[in-house]
Chain A
């Protein structure tokens, strides 16, 4: 049986992890004279006249492709991690998902309250 304190610390750590990932994703963005979104990249590819030009557009668009995929994957991982940790902690304390969220909030309040 996992104690309530351990569950709370685990969820807090996961919350800090999510915050760090959000901060990271905010800073990993495409800039400079290159296409910045999939739509821009697709338009540039369609406007290319021949295959060497299309290959060059693909080369220019690689940061956009990787940055967008990276952001999507990291968002899914951080959401899954948070939900899984809350669910596991809830089941360990026999509270269920919603009950565990309420219990964790109560414990966080208990830890950080001045009294």
Chain B
């Protein structure tokens, strides 16, 4: 299998884990980025309601309150609006932090997946190299010559074989990728 064939096989396969994670469909089939956008919009609208409530209540205290009791009520409204505003700010912070952590995790998963892809691609080229008759003949000739050395062991021969296959596969992959 050449690098191009390996790449073709990968692209024809089912959605990869990283794609599944990136899509992250919930029970209703909604994807996570869309869900996050909807949540941020909802929290943002509550944030605006809180802010408008604070401004309106302060304006009412300054201009609309006729007696002490109404001032008391509008003061209470300021307190509630401020609580809503603070809660919405914290909620927005948590939602965005969650989005950041999710994206970080996705980036890590994608890195590990790229490494797996490269490993699969390289092993495909190595198998292709080993199946070539000329290369096998050269390899055996080289190993026989090495085996005749007085100090050569089985470990030396195995290391030599692996190193030659890896070198040839690297050169072939570099040639195919241009």
Q: Which residues of B contact A74 (CB under 8 A)?
A: 87
Q: Select A34's contact among B35, B42, B98, beta carbons within 8 Å.
A: B98
Q: Which of A13, A34, A66 gathers most chain B CB within 10 Å? A: A13
B158 within 8 A of A: no
Main secondary structure of the interface of B (DSSP, over half): helix
A86 within 8 A of B: no
Kindly report which residue of chain B lies nearest to residue A25, judged by CB atoms: B91
Contact in complex: B73, A6 (CB < 8 Å): yes
Known contacts A17-B83, A21-B84; decide if A28 and B69 are in contact (CB<8 Å): no
Distance, CA A63 to CA B69, complexed state (A): 42
Q: Which residues of A contact B105 (CB under 8 A)?
A: 32-34, 60
CB distance from A97 to the nearest CB of B (A): 19
Q: Which residues of A contact B84 (CB under 8 A)?
A: 17, 20-21, 24
Q: Which of B106-120 contact A (CB under 8 A)?
A: 106, 109
Contact in complex: B39, A33 (CB < 8 Å): no
Q: Which residues of A contact B88 (CB under 8 A)?
A: 24
Contact in complex: A6, B80 (CB < 8 Å): no
CB distance from A15 to the nearest CB of B (A): 10
A94 within 8 A of B: no
Contact in complex: A6, B98 (CB < 8 Å): no
B163 within 8 A of A: no
Contact in complex: B70, A6 (CB < 8 Å): yes
Q: Which residues of A contact B106 (CB under 8 A)?
A: 32-33
Known contacts A9-B73, A28-B91, A70-B90; decide if A62 and B101 are in contact (CB<8 Å): yes
Chain A interface residues toward B at CB < 8 A: 2-3, 6, 9-10, 13-14, 17, 20-21, 23-25, 27-34, 59-60, 62-63, 66-67, 70, 74, 77, 81, 85
Q: What are 8 A-to-B residue pairs whose CB atoms are below 8 Å?
A: A6-B72, A10-B73, A27-B38, A28-B91, A32-B32, A66-B97, A81-B80, A85-B76
